[in-house]
Amino acid sequence: MSTMRMPASLRRRSTAARRGGARLALAVCAGLLLLAVAGCDNDPAAPKPQSEWTVSLEPQYTNRAVWGLSATHFFVTSERGTVSRYRDGQWTSWQFEYFQNLRDVWGTAGDAVMVVGESGLSLRFDGKDWTALYPGTTRDLYGVWGTAWDNIYAVGQDGVMARFDGANWATLDSGTEATLYDVWGTAADDIFAVGRDGVIMHFDGTAWTPMDSGTTEALDAVWGTSGHDVWAVGSLGTIVHYDGSAWQVESTDVVDRLWSVRGLPGKEPVAVGANGVLLTRSDGAWTSQTAAGGRYLYGLWDDGDSSLLLVGYNGLVMRLTDPVWETLNEGRTHWLTGIWAADCRTTVAVGKSGTVLLDLGDGWLDISPQLPDVDWAAVWGTSADDFFVVGTRGLIVRYQTGRPWTIWELVSGADLESVWGTASDDIFAVGEDGNIVHFDGYVWERMESGTSYPLLSVHGRNAYDVFAVGQGGTILHFDGVVWSASPSGVTGPLEAVWCRPNDETVVVGEAGLSLHSADDGTGHMTWESRGSGAAFPLFGATGDADGNVYAAGTNGLVMKYAGDGWEIMPTGHHDQFDAIAGNNCGQLYCAGYWGVILKYSK
C-alpha cells in the first residue's frame, strides 16, 4: 500500500473494518485528495521497512452528527477530523489532516455526501474518495442541509452561510452576525437556520429574515415534520416549537444543553444533550431520563420509518428500533493512562472509568474489575499472570490468573499515580501528597517520603536504588533504607523516570524537559538538563536492556535516547500519549487519549 499526498496535505487513514464494535485492520488505498483523486499506484514494491508503527487499538473520538440512507447504511462525523461509515454491519473510517473537528453531515445518496467542520472545512464523498472543497470561508461551519445535491446550505461562525450548487460553494448574506449552529427546511423556499442568542432566520426563496423565537438562549439544532411543525433546541434545556404562525417556548425539567431533536413518523419528537439527557414528549409535556450512562449525546437521525440513530461522546453510536436501544459502537475509555508489556505476547493497558484491557496477542479484552468511580493511573507486574493496578482513592488491585481480583484501598484515600517493583514481594506505589506505600508480599505499608508534592512516577534498578519524581521538580531516591531528596534544579512537573542499566537515570517532564543524573566528583548525585529538543510535554518513559530510553507525550510525540542525545521516532499520529512500555522483543506500546494504543515493531 502506498500513500500519495496532495498539495493540500489532506490525508485519509482508513482505520478499520469492524463487526460488533471490534475493529480489525482494513487495507485500502490511502491516497487523496484535492485537485484529483489518486488510487493505489503500481510502482515496484519498496523494501519492507525494518520497523513501523501500527494501530493496536483505534481511538474513539466524540461523534457530533449522523446522516444516512438507512438504519444499516449511514455516515458519522467526529472530532479530530474523522468520518466513519457504517454499512451492513461493517465500519470504515477516514481521518483528515489537519484534524479539525467535523461538525455535520448530509447527503442525497451513498455517493453524494457532504461534511463540514471547523476552519471552513468541507469534504465531498463520491462513493470512493473524499475531496476537499473550499466553501468561501475559513470560519467554523457547524451545520449542513439541503433540498437536493445542487442546493445545499452550510452555516456557522459569525453568521457565515454558504450554498453549494452541485459544483461549487458560494457565500451568502445570512442576515445576521450571530453564530448559526444548524440549518433545516421543508423545501427550497422554506428553510430555517438557528443559532446564538435565540436567533432564528427563515428563507422564503428570496431572502433570509429574522423570526421571533421567544428565547435568548442559544439554539443548537432545528428539525421538523413540516413547515408548520418545527422544533429547535438549545442551552439550558430550551425547546421552542413553531406551528406555522409563531414560535412558542415549551417547558422542560432540565437545564442541560440540548444538542439535537428528531422524531420518527407518527411519533412525538425526542431531544438529547449533555450528561446523557434524553427528553421524550407525550400529551404536550416533556419528560427527561438519562441515557447511555450519562455520556454527552450530540446527534440524532431517523430513517423515516422505524429506526432512530444516536451518536455522542467517545465513539458512541446507538440505534433505537422500538423498544430496544442497540449499541453499535462505543469507546472503552476516553483516556488510557498506563500500559505495561509483560512479555512478547501479553500487554495490559489501564485508564479512566475503571478500564483494564488485556491483549494476549489476538486483540484487546476488557477485564476491568467492577469497582465504581475509579480512574486507573498505572500498571506493573512480575509476569502475565500477576500484575498490580493503582488509581484514584488509593485503590490498588492485583490480578492473578485463575483468581478473583485482590483489592486494597488506602485509609488516606490519596490518589496513586505509579507502581513499580523488583518482585511480587517488593513493590512501590506513589501518588498524591507525597504518598509512598510498599508491598512486602503480604501487606502495604506507608513509607516516609519527606515531601507533600504529588509523586507521578517511580522506577528503579533494584531494591536499593529506586527513584520517584513528581510536581515541583521533586526527585526522591531510595537506598534500601530511607527516601531522600535529590535537588533537581527545576520547579516544574517531572512526569516520568527511567533508570538505565549503566547507572544513568533519565527524567522527563514539561516542554520536552530532560534531566540526566551525574556524579559531581564527590560521590553526590547531580542533575543535568540536556533537553530533548522537543517543545511538547513528555508524560511517559520506558527503556530496554540495551540502555535505550523512550519517552512519549503530547501530539503523538515519541522520542528515543541512546546515551548521546534524543531523536524523534515519527508515529504519524497526533493524539496525546500518556504512557509507553516496551517488551523484550523490541516492541513498544503507546497509550493515551481516546483509548488509542500504538504498537512499534522492529
**Number of C-beta neighbours around residue 372 at 10 A:** 5
For residues 98-124, give the mean pLDDT: 96
Q: How far apart are CA 414 and CA 547, in angstroms?
A: 33
Indicate whether 26 pLDDT > 70.
Answer: no
Cβ burial of 88 (10 Å; 0-12, 13-18, 19+) is: exposed
Q: Which residues contact 484 (CB under 8 A, 6 or more apart)?
A: 450, 476, 477
Q: What is the pLDDT of residue 386?
A: 98
| CA proximity to 238, closest of 247, 226, 225 | 247
What order of strands is seen across the sheet that includes strand 285-290?
A: 258-262, 270-273, 277-282, 285-290
Mind listing the pLDDT tens digit for each residue in 141-195?
Answer: 999 999 999 999 999 999 999 999 999 999 999 999 999 999 999 999 999 999 9
Indicate whether 310 pLDDT > 60.
Answer: yes
Percent residues over pLDDT 70 in the chain: 91
Q: What is the pLDDT of residue 51?
A: 61
Q: What is the pLDDT of residue 38?
A: 31
Mind listing the pLDDT tens digit for each residue in 83-107?
Answer: 999 999 999 999 987 789 999 999 9
| Contact in structure between 227 and 186 (CB atoms under 8 Å) | yes
Assign 3-class secondary structure to 93-137: EEECCCCCCEEEEEEEECCEEEEEEHHHCEEEECCCCEEECCCCC
Q: What is the pLDDT of residue 8?
A: 32
Phi, psi of 136 (to 5 degrees): 90, 5
Indicate whether 13 pLDDT > 70.
Answer: no
Which domains does the chain possess? 336-601 (2.130.10.10)
pLDDT band at 35 (very low <50, low <70, confident <90, very high): very low
For residues 464-483, give the mean pLDDT: 97
What would the grid cell of residue 389 be?
493496578
pLDDT band at 524 (very low <50, low <70, confident <90, very high): confident
Residues forming beta bridges with residue 184, ordered by sequence position: 192
For residues 37-54, give the mean pLDDT: 48
| CA proximity to 123, closest of 6, 258, 294 | 6
Cβ burial of 61 (10 Å; 0-12, 13-18, 19+) is: buried
Q: What is the pLDDT of residue 21?
A: 34
Q: How far apart are CA 484 and CA 467, in angstroms?
A: 10
Q: What is the pLDDT of the chain when averaged over all its residues?
A: 91
**Angle subtended at Cα 532 by Cα 530 and Cα 533, rounded to the nearest 5 degrees:** 110
Q: What is the pLDDT of residue 335?
A: 97
What would the grid cell of residue 494 be?
517531572
Torsion of CA 263, 264, 267, 273, to 10 degrees: -30
Phi, psi of 472 (to 5 degrees): 65, 25
CA atoms within 13 A on the CB side of 129: 17
Indicate whether 538 pLDDT > 60.
Answer: yes
Indicate whether 350 pLDDT > 80.
Answer: yes
Cβ burial of 274 (10 Å; 0-12, 13-18, 19+) is: buried
